[in-house]
Amino acid sequence: MKKVLICSSILFLSFSSCSVNQSLKQSIAQPEKFGAVPTQRQLDWQKLEYYGFVHFNMNTFTDREWGYGDEKPEWFNPTDFDAEQWVKVAKKAGMKGLILTAKHHDGFCLWPSAYTEHTIANSPYKNGKGDIVKELAEACKKHDLLFGVYLSPWDRNHAAYAQDAYVDVFLGQLNELLTNYGDLFEVWFDGANGGDGYYGGAREARKIDAKTYYRWDKVVDMVREHQPNAVIFGAKGADIRWIGNEEGIGTETNWSTMNPIVMNETREQLQKGVKNAEDWLPAEADVSVRPGWYYHAREDHLVRPLSHMVDIYYKSVGRNANLLLNIPVDTRGLVHENDEQRLYELYEVIQADFENKVSENAEFKADGRTIESKFMTDDELSTYYYNPQLEDSQQQVIEIDLGKSQIFNRLQVQENIEFGQRVESFELEIFKDNQWHKITEGTTIGYQRLLRFEPVKAQKARLIIKKSLAAPVISTFNLYKAPNLLVEPTLERKKSGEVSFSVPNKQTEIYYSYKKDQPQNFTKFSKPLKISEPTTIYYASFDPETQKYSSVQTANLDIPKAKWQAIDENGKPLKEATKAIDENVYSVYVSTPEAPEIIIDLGENIDITGFTYWPSQERWAYGTIQNYELYTSEDLKSWNLAKEGEFSNVKNNPIEQKVLFQKTNTRYIKLKSTKTTDGSKKASFAEVSVITLNP
């Protein structure tokens, strides 16, 4: 029996506020279900909001994202594997569960499957006695974390792939995972079916029809039989849908309803869902904490910045989707320290953002009635406000009185989706200077919308449901005062030499200094700085509310590139190559194979003592220089070799490379590749600079 808020006006006249029991006693009408509604399984899953993915398998050891299928089981050998470490990190990071890549596209099984030799049983790990699915399942159980499995239908190792016989293997493996590892909360099937692979030595391309080949009806039956509470992802008959990108971002409009899945939905359908459609199919947003799904040492410095992670959270969990955040466990078999720290930071921000609920004991009113505060403010979907007498054309308005003027900058709204998803657009207004002012607005709500806006101060606010498919059933209307996000400023420099800083949060101030000092003595940053000489600059952000500074950052800025030009060997401007001297490491110049080099006219003669090279930061970077020659010239005709050498470990760790040499006076420099990390004849340059500062 649901706790229902009073919706008859007679009843409302007799009680100024209504309690659960009173409403139950009066057996108030429940809303009728509208359109498609979630199953209990889908509802339980939706409430998880945030959980983790772990990509850890053969690719971890081959440093790849997709294995071909010809990898050797001997290569799988974590040195310090510890499932409990993963689970402890996930728990401390606020995740509700973990989904493990039990088998990825290369076919290697992390459990000793009886259906193939390509498993952990033939690896050195625990002398072939290991079972990582089991170890993780047990660690999750021990620490009260939900456990799920990723099983790739595509198998680039198996000889019978694309024949009927392989589907028996796939179903057999699924059966092993469903029956040997306790309760699963989610079973994840990947949609990738790329074609070519090892396939038992055939090394060829094989095609299947993913809609029919895998016998999805059988798959769904098996999951339902053995794991009735598990949601299915990525199958025909799935319970949840992909959000349509691997960035973890939901679109603003996100319906949890969809047309029956045919397995060639458009991106737009996946992202937005389909309004008032036949099936309930809520979205899951997946993204990795780093660029890759798998661990690559070269991405150790590329763990997503905190402000980006927070953004992902608000654009997934805050946009009616669940967030599946991937952790690429490293070759030791541990969550890397950098990822661990970022996950904790993210959770700290989320907790802090929703700690100060200014609406907690507020007075809520709608349709001239008082709504008991907890009906709007608690976590229960089953306490809600609903007015069945709302006319079709009428907007539902819920007013809130905070008792006194308060500052807030976050809105949380939820519909009780047990009765279907209804709201199409809404608005938040505050009452100020005797008038209502719009603060923020949104389209769909669904299970949950979280909206960020600049802090406002008001005693009264109102939520207006402007458009709804049926009378809205609002289960949460909360306002919060989130603290400012205090992260170090990002420094940006233009080719002209102009320097500016930015922070994600407008309230946060930025301070800088040309002298090493306490941040209290820094100057407040207000407009771009013109820097024309080599300069060291110190900078930090400051939260005026908590009076706290971020850590102080230091940047050694060498001469500006205002007069620089990228040219060819005849001195003609080479526009494309400007990408290597535009102070932006995300724009990359790729040379021709004939001339794997860049020539730069420094505009005047200067003394240089070295140079720097930023390799490409792209996920599929190529042409990264491993061995280089650096030449100087006065006239573009005779070139002197200033230095040659190797950028050690640039493949695994593609960060800025610095090379120093004897002071040389020059007008032109040429950086030439003599070897690239991937053997490519072309060389790529994200950014090239000279060093004139004393090291």
Our measurement of the distance from residue 107's CA atom to the centroid of its chain's CA atoms, rounded to an integer in Å, reads 26
241 or 449: whose CB is closer to ligand FUL?
241
CA 430, CA 449: separation in Å to the nearest integer? 18
66 or 280: whose CB is closer to ligand FUL?
66
- Smallest gap, in angstroms, from Cβ of residue 207 to ligand FUL? 17
- Smallest gap, in angstroms, from Cβ of residue 67 to ligand FUL? 10
104 or 670: whose CB is closer to ligand FUL?
104
Q: Which two tokens stand for residue 430?
A: 């505050």
- Smallest gap, in angstroms, from Cβ of residue 66 to ligand FUL? 6
- Smallest gap, in angstroms, from Cβ of residue 53 to ligand FUL? 7
- Smallest gap, in angstroms, from Cβ of residue 174 to ligand FUL? 17
286 or 424: whose CB is closer to ligand FUL?
286
Determine how β-strand 186-189 pairs with β-strand 396-415: unpaired
174 or 390: whose CB is closer to ligand FUL?
174
Name the CA dihedral angle for 489, 487, 478, 463, rounded to a multiple of 10 degrees. 10
- Smallest gap, in angstroms, from Cβ of residue 323 to ligand FUL? 13
69 or 596: whose CB is closer to ligand FUL?
69
Neighbour count for residue 86 (Cβ, 10 Å): 27
Burial 473-487 (b: 16+ CB within 10 A, else e): bbbbbbbbbbbbbbb
190 or 363: whose CB is closer to ligand FUL?
190
> Residues with Cβ < 8 Å from 298, sequence gap 6 or more?
651, 652, 653, 654
CA 634, CA 637: separation in Å to the nearest integer? 8
Our measurement of the distance from residue 488's CA atom to the centroid of its chain's CA atoms, rounded to an integer in Å, reads 20
Q: Which is nearest to 50 in space by CA: 346, 487, 422, 270?
A: 346
- Smallest gap, in angstroms, from Cβ of residue 234 to ligand FUL? 9
Which H or E element spans position 664?
Answer: strand 657-676
Q: Is 283 helix (H, G, I), strand (E, B) or coil?
A: strand
- Smallest gap, in angstroms, from Cβ of residue 286 to ligand FUL? 6
293 or 589: whose CB is closer to ligand FUL?
293
Which H or E element spans position 308?
Answer: helix 306-316
Instruction: Kindly give the residue spans of alpha helices, DSSP state H, lying in 317-386.
Output: 337-353, 373-377
CA 301, CA 656: separation in Å to the nearest integer? 11
- Smallest gap, in angstroms, from Cβ of residue 336 to ligand FUL? 18
CA 587, CA 614: separation in Å to the nearest integer? 11
217 or 246: whose CB is closer to ligand FUL?
246
Q: Which residues bind ligand FUL (CB under 6 A)?
A: 65-66, 190-192, 286, 293
CA 153, CA 544: separation in Å to the nearest integer? 53
- Smallest gap, in angstroms, from Cβ of residue 288 to ligand FUL? 8
192 or 660: whose CB is closer to ligand FUL?
192
Q: Closest-CB residue for ligand FUL?
A: 192
Q: Is 403 helix (H, G, I), strand (E, B) or coil?
A: strand
Name the CA dihedral angle for 480, 484, 487, 488, rounded to a multiple of 10 degrees. 170
288 or 541: whose CB is closer to ligand FUL?
288
51 or 564: whose CB is closer to ligand FUL?
51
- Smallest gap, in angstroms, from Cβ of residue 141 to ligand FUL? 24
Determine how β-strand 597-614 pairs with β-strand 657-676: antiparallel
- Smallest gap, in angstroms, from Cβ of residue 651 to ligand FUL? 21
- Smallest gap, in angstroms, from Cβ of residue 65 to ligand FUL? 6
CB 306 within 8 A of CB 268: no
Amino acid at 58: M
CA 298, CA 300: separation in Å to the nearest integer? 6
CA 117, CA 133: separation in Å to the nearest integer? 17
35 or 234: whose CB is closer to ligand FUL?
234
DSSP line for 498-519: EEEEE-S-TT-EEEEESS---G
> Residues with Cβ < 8 Å from 18, sequence gap 6 or more?
5, 6, 11, 12, 371, 372
